[in-house]
Structure 1
Amino acid sequence: MPKSSASFFLEFRRRVVLPVVSVIVFGFVLAAALLWQLAAAQDQDELARSQQFIRRSLEQRAQAMSSTLKDYAAWGAAYRNLHVKLDTAWAYDQENVGPPLYSGFKYDYVFLVAPGGRIVYGVLEGQLAEPAAMPALGGGFQLLVDKAGAVAPNETVPVTGLLDVAGRPVLAGAAALSTGSDPSVSAIPGPPSILVFGARLSDDALAALGEQWFVPRLRLAGDAADAAAPPHLALPTTDGRITHTLRWTPDQPGRAMLWRVFPGLALAAAALAGFVILVVQHAAKAASTISEGASRLADAEEQMRHLALHDAVTGLPNRASLSRHLQEMLATGRRVCLLSIDLDRFKPINDSLGHRAGDVVLGEVAHRLRKLVHEHDLAARLGGDEFAAALLDRTDDEVERFCQRLQRDLAAPIVHEGCELSVGASIGIALSPGDARSAEELLRVADLALYQAKRDGFGTYRFYAPEMNEHIASRRVLEADLRRALQRGEFVLHYQPRFDAHSMRITSAEALVRWLAPSGGLVRPAEFIPLAEEIGLIVPLGEWVLHTACAAAVQWGTIGVSVNVSPAQVRSGDLTATVERALRETGLSPDRLELELTEGVLLEDTDRARDTLAALKRLGVRLALDDFGTGYSSLGYIRRFPFDAIKIDKQFVADMATTRGSRAIVQSILGLGKALGMSVTAEGVETAEQLMLLRLDGCDEVQGFYASPPRDQAVIAGLVQAQAPAAAGGPPPPLEHTHRASA
């Protein structure tokens, strides 16, 4: 080759080939990154939707239980035969409040709680059961009963919550019996009897619930590792404890899209690589090769751009394209209506006949939806069985007629391989500018309206109303306030003293965190601790509580301090270092600090819990097992961990004088504690009779409102100073003096 030709081709490669190749590679990488990002966004949207549907399904189940419970509790005949006088034959034999509740409503538990807290009638899985044979009702059963009973005389207001019964989650409802609208029955004075229904969230029940709400393979987590894996949803019981976690396998439309376009991308990559090699090897044909390669790349980029903005199954615009179109429509200032459309009965078709049949249905739905919209409107598929339609310049009446026609068209059978398939649609409607002024907000409120339509029954449509947003808005405000609360110093500690059961001298005080919210007033832990756990605030909050409580104990001088430890603090792996730092910085002696842990903390990861507790014991602090008797406690279980003390749950103390088995349980726990060399503290001591029985049974310490409610640091210091003469040799202060001083 002549030198001039060689120079020409070298210059051509430097000025033309290399820049073009660089642009091609950059465009390919940019397009691939955009596609990947859009696919990940689709998968995340699908996960968020499934989480929202799970919450909706549980709320709907609880509402249905409340409605049934009110029908039974506000019934004059039930008031006469269950509260005025207990007639078991009327309730069970005549099937008024008995087997039909199990066979017809799937309520595994039916209890009647008499005034005073004693269970006097029960039906387990449709069979009459002796009250003594009732299972242990943990997870806040007493809180649920107390809340149901705290109503005006002869009123019925059902309450619902989640309990932990025999290691399984149970959706429970409670309501006070009343005469209802029956004029033939007269109310009698005194506290009401409480009717309680409970339905186990079994694996079969959860699977059916998930199928109904399009959440694949909904189940309970099998163990701690399973519960920690994504996606998961914790189930808090009525008393705020997390005892169970839901797991499921969400659809991944984004990943499916990537698998569909991957061969095309691989082909484009191979073509690009071949193009570059061809340019390098055949510089003489550089100009024509570059032109052809650029054309092919432009086509590939256009295809990828189309795939990034359109649904691969139906060909409709996707969420990103809908959002862009909504912004353009809203910018014109004209009235925009957004319909959020969710197919009814689609998941059974997809599961029973396969994804091919499901894709046929989705394609036909897209075809029918596309036929209904006008030239300036837009139909889109958001993912899964969710579609949307953006309509321009429609009146409310026109929107309603559109929804009615859409539901009628979608209900028409779809023929596939000789079978007639049928689906329906639930629709949420949002309008601009009244409901929202931005694309993002319009999508959000349309989804809230869809949620309401699904709650009201399949095949309905609902316009957005502001009250639909109140619950979500209040939660967001609470979350934002809680995130700022620690920096603003809005948390405070109160301390509830523990007393020697015989001398009634204060031996220690338990630190209880309260939140002085910006709205005013102290917020109880049950209202914000679960949210703090959910948003990751519980670890720094727990560290602040520990440090503040240790500093307070140093000021008191002689008594110890007790601090509760959450599961998240144990999981963080930094609890031992945190405790060591708090002791060092405050100067508190380790033997004056007691850490209280519940059984749930230990059950999450037994090996980690054992190692953490052993490390804490090496620091010299005391360890107490809180709420003993409400979970899976056993002798072998307790001996595996180095506890110094156990605390009897207050529900057993409350029933000592009224329930036959409660005192025996308390005596057994006291005997177990003495046998293992542990001190035993009884929580929730509210009466002189309870204190007397605990003294007779040899209880070491008591704690409760009878002796002292929670007080601030200064009051505790005064109580400690007041008992100083007794410590120096004088007589201890009498109980009534201690109670009066704490008030």
Structure 2
Amino acid sequence: MLAAAQFRALRHQVPSLHLILLINVTFLTFITSSARAAPVTYVPSCVLACSSVFRILKWRRVHYAGAAAARRMFASTVRTSLLFGLSLSAWSAWVLYTRSADVAAFIPFFAALSTIACAVCMVSLPRAAYAVIWSGTVPMVVAMIATGNPALMAAAANLSVIAVLLFAWMQRQHQQFHDIVQAHATTIEREREVAHLAFNDQLTGLANRRAFLARLDEAQRPAGQRLDTTVVLMDLDGFKAVNDRLGHGVGDVLLRRVSDRLAQHVPPKALCARLGGDEFAVLLPTADAAEVAEAARRIAAIFDRPITIGDDVVQPRGSIGLSTGDVWPDDPIDLMHRADLALYESKALKQAQPYFFHIGLQQQSDRRRIIETAYQDPAALAQLGVHFQPIVRTGTGEVVAFEALMRWQHPQLGNVPPDELFAVADRARVATHFTDHLFARALAKATQWPAHLALSFNVTAGEVGPHLCTMIAAACDRHGFAPDRLIVEITETALLRDLEMAQRTIAELQALGVRVALDDFGAGFASIGYLKHIRFDLIKIDGGLVRSIVECPLAGQLLIGVVELCRAVGTPIVVEQVETEAQLDILRVLGVDKVQGYLLGHPTAEPDLTTHEWLQANHM
């Protein structure tokens, strides 16, 4: 850094110094010339003048080529300065002893001016300045003293004082120059550190979100041409579980290892970035289908092998979404949004394979966005209705409860299935707005029923928490509805999300007198294990176990096993999706007490509260 600064300063200062020396030599030659002087007397001045011109031209053309080359240039400058100083001293002494006194009087002025010019112009390279000052001043002072002329001797003393003062001044100036260069270098280094912090992820060393978006924003193209760029988004599935189970230290190591693999598996010109948390991105400088497919395959391969961290072995899993510039090539930043849609779809499918954006995903996204904001739209909420499906006792045909089911005919989207509504709302964390609205409407209708009829109501995984208990207690109190007439249905998903929260919420609901049912039992993989931890008031067996019991003996055996399991834990059951009398006959033989399905009644806004007499007549 210091060598570069010295070189830049000298490149401007050395030509100025030699220009001053050239002017001094020219005027000194003019003053000391005479008509009777031999031509040979002009040789020294011509040599000095030509040397100055040569140095001026050389320094004008030279460019910085590194510290080593600069140091060689400095050494050459010191040698040249020493030679110039001695040459000027010799020529000045010759003039001093061969010319008249009035001409010789100009010598001290010439020497002082040259010394000062050298000190000022060579302050960035003190060695060269010292060489000129001492080689040019000391011999000149000695020569002036040797003349015995009092005036020249006084001038010699004056010149000596000037040289000493200039020497001290140059030391201070060079130190200041050094300090300024050092401060500038420190500032640049800090700016680099700040830039590194601003554009690099500190944990993994990859580019960060800001750097990725800046590079993506540079990927512009002329209007009407496709964007030759692909955005790949990737995040780790189950990373939170690794952090919770093994600790954040292991989680950080996992992120670094995945980052290393990612950097090794992408093409050389691709940009890898960590956007935050467990989300990564890759910017590919191509939209060619074959090249992108190969890059996607290589990126997916980072999940093929487990990662060993100390005594722990972690099998990384991830979802990958891609968007290429040849699909809707509008704004480069739009590629991020589209890749995010593809990533969302990849996570939903749980296929651990790269998923490419297509136009249908944008349409689905627009639909989700409308659903997410619908709770703020009174016109949309006005179309939100509640239908009721009966739960019937098989032995008597008596209706014992109604399950409240959402029906929504949206003015823009048409019919919105309940599963879609609550899946979108739960992801957007706005499900409670819809649930509160639906529960209030269902409860208002249920208060008109006879006291022996219960209301069964579904809640999503995201709603299981303190708010649910508070909302139910307040609504029941407001409508004068007995909590023991209410059944809250909770799916396995809620238990998977946060078992401790689910246990607390269920206990609080049961303390209010509300019955809690495990919905869709038999549809998942882990429901049986939850029966050890939570005491449910009711188990609703998923209709998937009933659908083929008439035609498939194995399906019947599975259903028998599930029914016996529920009896073993002492929990009443309801079998869902009963659609044929043959299914009902089998369930009755198995001793199933309560059923629900289209055979018993379709969901309607105004439910039939009467006993199913035909059921009583045919199955008693």
Query: In terms of Rg, which structure is larger?
Result: 2
Higher helix share: 2
Higher strand share: 1
TM-score (norm 1): 0.41
